[in-house]
């Protein structure tokens, strides 16, 4: 079966963009199945850095078809900007990009409501990027969403817009005491977007079905990580879509039995952006060193990421949820300067031991991590492409992670660049 899925095995920002870029050489189609432009995938080709938000990382390969699936929330303004930036860098988008007719549109009132709802939560903030992703998925579940295909029927688009604003404006005016949105202003703005993106819009489910029937290889790309999944993550501190491998089925229209392999991506340590529990977080000198050595600042927002030791409970949990037997470990080189390295193998809470991910958010927030201590390697690993050439302690660390997680490390990233990678 010719379908592979790449998922994040932590809280996102694991380096999925680079892994997808590497795997694209063996794919015919690369398809994004969830999320919006709140995620950023960074890929370095030679000395040029690309940050992609909506378009799959496979777009950097000239002969690959790239799909934005029905499970993705699309801000047309952000999409057009991303297309323009790629074209400026000589990347062919026009022949290679395809957008699902049934992707849901992010509207201006979604962005307003996203930030306004976050502001009223006070100390219970989620840490949203304010890009309108959550309210877009809320409307999708509430059967009020507006499809990308609606852009090309002005009458239908206006009817759906008027229905939404009939009560969105009531909330905006009466709850948030703000200026309401005008139907004609939004209509004119989005009709302008329609002209610019119409060439890319198609029935992507049919496109993927036909490709699979022909034996073509489909690589499915997730945005955030498993622990941000709306069903299986650290709810409510999650995103609003299905980030796990199951999301590839719903977000692209692929039958489960057609998925051949799931590859989980995990950093050699752990990071998290925004609010929410993070058992292995380091708030002192070591956490700061991880952040600086790893360049741990959000590709989309620039926000500093919270950093901590590798959490085997989290990644093993992600392994089961996603059915991953293979794993890509990224940013191994970031640990080069640490004399001692730690892996969380257990949580302690009120005298009880947990070796599996608890369901209760209170336990995850207040537990004490129990660590396995390992010797660091204190040698430069940047750019190594042969596993045998890694320092012995780095090899032991990789082996220990694989054993604890229950997945073989088949890809190890030793730097930012495409070629700074070990393929096992």
Catalytic site residue from 21, 37, 41, 110: 41
How far is residue 140 from each of residues 24, 103, 241, 357, measured CA to CA in Å?
31, 10, 11, 30
The sign of the torsion formed by the CA atoms of 80, 81, 82, 86 equals positive
Number of other CB atoms surrounding residue 399 within 10 Å? 11
Tell me which DSSP letter residue 177 carries: -
Ramachandran bin of 138, using left for φ above 0, alpha for ψ from -120 to 50, beta for the remaining angles: alpha
User: CA-to-CA distance for 251 and 117, rounded, in angstroms?
Assistant: 26
Q: Which of 13, 139, 311, 333 is catalytic?
A: 13
Q: Among residues 33, 11, 40, 35, which one has the least CA distance to residue 317? A: 11
Q: What token pair was written down for 262?
A: 């799931």
Task: For the chain, give the number of residues.
Answer: 424
Q: Report how far residue 106's alpha carbon sits from residue 108's, in angstroms, rounded to the nearest whole number.
A: 7
Does 41 qualify as catalytic in the annotation?
Answer: yes
Q: How far is CA 269 from CA 32, 101, 265, 420, in A?
A: 25, 38, 12, 18
The pair of structure tokens assigned to 198 is 């119409």
Instruction: Tell me whether residue 13 is one of the annotated catalytic residues.
Output: yes
Q: What residues contact 238, with CB distance under 8 A and at least 6 apart?
A: 227, 228, 229, 230, 276
What is the DSSP secondary structure assignment for residue 24, as one 8-state letter?
Answer: G
In the structure encoding, which two tokens stand for residue 159, read together?
């009817």
**One-character DSSP codes across 62-81:** TT-EEEE-TTBEE-HHHHHH
Distance CA 250, CA 72 (A): 11
Q: How far is CA 244 from the centre of its chain?
A: 10
- Looking at the DSSP assignment, which residues form a beta bridge with residue 417? 44
Packing angle between helix 76-88 and helix 183-197, nearest 10 degrees?
Answer: 30
Helix, strand, coil abundance in the chain, percent, nearest 5: 40, 25, 35
Which residues are known catalytic residues? 13, 41
């Amino acid at each position: 079966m010719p379908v592979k899925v790449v998922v994040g095995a932590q809280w996102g920002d694991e380096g999925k963009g680079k892994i997808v870029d590497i795997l694209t050489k063996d794919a015919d189609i690369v398809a994004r199945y969830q999320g919006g432009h709140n995620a950023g995938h960074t890929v370095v080709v030679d000395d040029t850095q690309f940050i992609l938000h909506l378009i799959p990382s496979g777009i950097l390969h000239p002969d690959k078809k790239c799909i934005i699936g029905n499970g993705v929330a699309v801000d047309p303004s952000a999409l057009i900007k991303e297309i323009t930036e790629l074209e400026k860098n000589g990347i062919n988008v026009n022949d290679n990009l395809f957008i699902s007719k049934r992707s849901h549109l992010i509207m201006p009132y979604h962005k307003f409501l996203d930030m306004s709802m976050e502001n009223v939560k006070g100390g219970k903030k989620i840490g949203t990027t304010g890009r309108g992703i959550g309210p877009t998925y809320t409307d999708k579940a509430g059967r009020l969403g507006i499809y990308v295909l609606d852009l090309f029927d002005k009458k239908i688009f206006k009817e759906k817009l008027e229905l939404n604003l009939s009560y969105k404006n009531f909330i905006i005016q009466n709850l948030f005491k703000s200026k309401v949105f005008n139907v004609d202003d939004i209509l004119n703005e989005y009709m302008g977007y329609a002209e610019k993106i119409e060439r890319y819009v198609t029935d992507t489910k049919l496109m993927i079905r036909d490709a699979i029937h022909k034996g073509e290889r489909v690589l499915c790309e997730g945005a955030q990580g498993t622990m941000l999944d709306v069903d299986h993550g650290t709810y409510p501190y999650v995103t609003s879509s299905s980030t796990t491998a199951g999301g590839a089925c719903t977000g692209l229209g692929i039958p489960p039995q057609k998925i051949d392999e799931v590859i989980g991506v995990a950093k050699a340590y752990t990071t998290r952006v925004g609010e929410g529990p993070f058992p292995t977080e380091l708030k002192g000198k070591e956490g700061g060193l991880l952040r600086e050595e790893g360049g741990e600042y959000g590709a989309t927002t620039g926000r500093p990421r919270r950093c901590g030791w590798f959490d085997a409970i989290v990644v093993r949990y992600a392994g089961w949820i996603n059915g991953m037997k293979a794993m890509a470990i990224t940013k191994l080189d970031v640990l080069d300067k640490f004399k001692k390295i730690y892996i969380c193998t257990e949580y302690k809470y009120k005298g009880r031991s947990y070796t599996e991910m608890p369901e209760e958010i209170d336990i995850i927030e207040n537990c004490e991590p129990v660590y396995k201590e390992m010797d660091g390697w204190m040698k430069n690993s940047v750019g190594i492409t042969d596993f045998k050439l890694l320092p012995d302690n780095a090899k032991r660390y990789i082996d220990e992670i694989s054993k604890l997680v229950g997945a073989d490390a088949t890809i190890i990233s030793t730097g930012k660049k495409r070629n700074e990678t070990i393929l096992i």
